[in-house]
């Protein structure tokens, strides 16, 4: 079981045994009751959207935009096709929660998408699944077959006259497709290059039709909101930060994995659930919301709680809830070098500041890491980030710049030491011991 722990869980409650993902098991846990009720009572679309608004569910993919508000942007009465699309292209380094939601509770996503489609008059949906998690893609297809056979998808859902069908689409290795308009381009059979906005997908989305895109966990939360009521969901978290959330914790902890906790839970509590720091070492820094979110020094992180507002106050972002933990064996230059390589590799190449800028960021951090740094390199890095940020079509340029800016802000001395002494502040054998890989060999 990969959900390693929870406090007052909703999304992962009762996920026991190998068959938890099956339709029969989901129904036993109360699954599809919300959809049945909505269809049987012919609940109005406004009522459904209002319930989601009341829950203060904020987008779980990283941006944290209020879901109910997003749904209200859809031109529901617009004649013609409309789409709901699920973003399961989970490739933000540190994030692996959607994989487990689809692995253990795929029907919660299917039900959430069907409810969303009902609320926004959409008749067709796609779930875009990260290409690297192939077993998850095939399992989701099986779950779709189960739902279709039970009359929960397709024509005339449960005899209500409402039509909605849902299909799985797989990615094949492109981080940028997690950006919603790149994802739409990708479903349309093209290179995944983001579109200029506006127009937003709600007016010009998939195949040019009105489209709403939400993250897997966002859709997966919908049935629980409808069953328990929006207010109950909100109260499970804290004001302006409704509900529980899955946190993926990775790096230097004893039990990396997924944990579901109420928003507002202290970071220290999550760290304890994850078995504490590996080898009892000291927390040096933490990336709280996936690789694109600014790094926070360890002591500051220890006093943060896990919600959008608290992390934002500490100068970072809750993002996707991917908490990357780094202890004192980490060389911050090497850590940043790897992240910078990632953004360089994954820039789609459409905008010059990002295409060229991410290359420069990597090139400079790489030469610092390899003892060839120059005294003005740190200022040069700052300058390159300033020339990328805000000058690109999508957020990848910003995402590449924020780690650089924050690593330099909080760990500048370590970068300066590297340039001056042409070596790491943290000795290589200490770094190697930190990963624990070769220890397993002895």
Partner 1 sequence: MLTPDSLNRINREIAKYPGDQKQSAVMAALAIAQEEKGWLSSDAIEFVAIYLGMPPIAVYEVASFYNMYDLEPLGKYKLTVCTNLPCMLSGGVDAGEYLKHKLGIGYNETTPDGRITLKEGECMGACGDAPVMIVNNRRMCSWMNPEQIDKLLAELE
CA 367 vs. chain centroid, Å, equals: 31
| Smallest separation, CB 221 to partner 1 (Å) | 19
Structure tokens at 65: 């935009």
| Smallest separation, CB 130 to partner 1 (Å) | 5
One DSSP character per residue, 252-270 reads SBSS-EEEEEETTEEHHHH
Choose between 33 and 433: whose C-beta lies nearer to partner 1. Answer: 433
| Smallest separation, CB 187 to partner 1 (Å) | 6
Contact yes or no for 82/118 (Cβ under 8 A): no
One DSSP character per residue, 132-162 reads T-HHHHHHHHHHHHHHHHTTSSBSSGGGSS-
Choose between 25 and 327: whose C-beta lies nearer to partner 1. Answer: 327
Choose between 163 and 435: whose C-beta lies nearer to partner 1. Answer: 435
| Smallest separation, CB 392 to partner 1 (Å) | 18
- Name, in order, each residue with C-beta under 8 angstroms of 437's C-beta and a sequence gap of 6 or more: none
Rounded CA separation 387/90 (Å):
28
| Smallest separation, CB 432 to partner 1 (Å) | 7
Choose between 58 and 170: whose C-beta lies nearer to partner 1. Answer: 170
Contacts of 133-138 with C-beta under 8 Å, sequence gap 24+, read: 133/90, 133/99, 133/102, 134/170, 135/103, 136/88, 136/99, 136/102, 136/103, 137/168, 137/170
Choose between 29 and 169: whose C-beta lies nearer to partner 1. Answer: 169
- Neighbour count for residue 104 (Cβ, 10 Å): 22
Choose between 208 and 371: whose C-beta lies nearer to partner 1. Answer: 208
| Smallest separation, CB 442 to partner 1 (Å) | 10
Q: Which residues bind partner 1 (CB under 8 A)?
A: 2, 81, 90-96, 98-99, 124, 126, 130-135, 167-175, 186-192, 207, 248-252, 256-258, 287, 291, 322, 324-326, 330, 334-335, 338-339, 342, 345-346, 348, 432, 434-438, 440-441
- Name, in order, each residue with C-beta under 8 angstroms of 389's C-beta and a sequence gap of 6 or more: 397, 398, 401
| Smallest separation, CB 55 to partner 1 (Å) | 26
Choose between 52 and 381: whose C-beta lies nearer to partner 1. Answer: 381
- Neighbour count for residue 83 (Cβ, 10 Å): 23
């Amino acid at each position: 079981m990969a959900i390693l722990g929870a406090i007052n869980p909703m999304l992962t409650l009762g996920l026991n045994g190998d068959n938890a993902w099956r339709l029969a098991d989901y129904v036993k846990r109360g699954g599809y009751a919300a959809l049945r009720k909505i269809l049987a009572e012919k609940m109005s679309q406004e009522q459904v959207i209002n319930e989601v608004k009341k829950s203060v569910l904020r987008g779980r993919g990283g941006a944290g935009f209020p879901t109910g508000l997003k749904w209200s942007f859809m031109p529901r009465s617009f004649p013609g096709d409309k789409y709901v699309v699920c973003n399961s292209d989970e490739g933000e380094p540190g994030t692996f929660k959607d994989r487990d939601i689809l692995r253990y509770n795929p029907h919660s996503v299917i039900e959430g998408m069907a409810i969303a489609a009902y609320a926004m008059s959409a008749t067709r949906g796609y779930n875009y699944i990260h290409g690297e998690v192939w077993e998850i893609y095939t399992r989701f297809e099986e779950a779709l077959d189960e739902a279709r056979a039970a009359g929960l998808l397709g024509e005339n859902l449960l005899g209500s006259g409402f039509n909605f069908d849902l299909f799985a689409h797989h990615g094949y290795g492109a981080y940028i497709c997690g950006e919603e308009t790149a994802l739409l381009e990708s479903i349309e059979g093209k290179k995944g290059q983001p579109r200029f906005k506006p127009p937003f997908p709600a007016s010009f989305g998939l195949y040019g039709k009105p489209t709403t895109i939400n993250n897997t966990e966002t859709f997966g939360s919908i049935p629980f909101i409808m069953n328990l009521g929006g207010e109950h969901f909100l109260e499970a978290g804290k004001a302006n930060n409704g509900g529980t959330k899955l946190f993926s914790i990775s790096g230097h902890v004893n039990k990396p994995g997924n944990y579901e906790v109420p928003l507002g839970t202290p970071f220290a509590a999550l760290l304890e659930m994850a078995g504490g720091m590996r080898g009892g070492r000291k927390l040096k820094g933490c990336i709280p919301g996936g690789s694109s979110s600014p790094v926070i020094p360890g002591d500051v992180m220890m006093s943060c709680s896990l919600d959008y507002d608290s992390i934002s106050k500490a100068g970072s972002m809750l993002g996707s809830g991917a908490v990357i933990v780094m202890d004192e064996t980490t060389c911050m230059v090497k850590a940043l070098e790897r992240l910078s390589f990632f953004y360089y590799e994954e820039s789609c190449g459409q905008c010059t500041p990002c295409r060229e800028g991410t290359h420069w960021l990597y090139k400079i951090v790489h030469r610092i890491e390899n003892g060839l740094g120059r005294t003005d390199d740190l200022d040069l890095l700052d300058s390159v980030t300033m020339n990328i940020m805000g000058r690109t079509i999508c957020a990848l340029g910003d995402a590449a710049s924020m780690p650089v800016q924050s690593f330099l802000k909080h760990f500048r001395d370590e970068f300066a030491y590297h340039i001056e002494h042409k070596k790491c502040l943290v000795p290589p054998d200490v770094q190697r011991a930190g990963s624990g890989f070769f220890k397993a060999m002895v």
